[in-house]
Amino acid sequence: MAMNETREPTRRDFLFIVTGMASAVGAVASTWPFIDQMRPDASTLALASIEVDISSLGEGMSLTVKWRGRPVFIRNRTPKEIEAANAVAIEELKDPVARNANLSNDQPATDLARSAGDGRENWIVMIGVCTHLGCVPLGQAGDFGGWFCPCHGSHYDTAGRIRKGPAPENLAIPSFAFISEAVVRIG
Residues taking part in catalysis: 152
Cα(12)–Cα(141) distance, integer angstroms: 75
Residue 172 to residues 10, 44, 103, 155, Cα–Cα distance (Å) = 62, 21, 12, 15
Cα(83)–Cα(60) distance, integer angstroms: 13
Q: Which long-range contacts (CB under 8 A, 24 or more apart) does 69-72 make?
A: 70/127, 70/128, 70/129, 71/127, 71/128, 71/129, 71/136, 72/125, 72/126, 72/127, 72/128, 72/174, 72/186
**CB of 169 closer than 8 Å to CB of 161:** no
157: how many CB neighbours lie within 10 A of its CB? 26
**CB of 72 closer than 8 Å to CB of 66:** yes
What Rg do the C-alpha atoms of the chain give, in angstroms?
A: 26
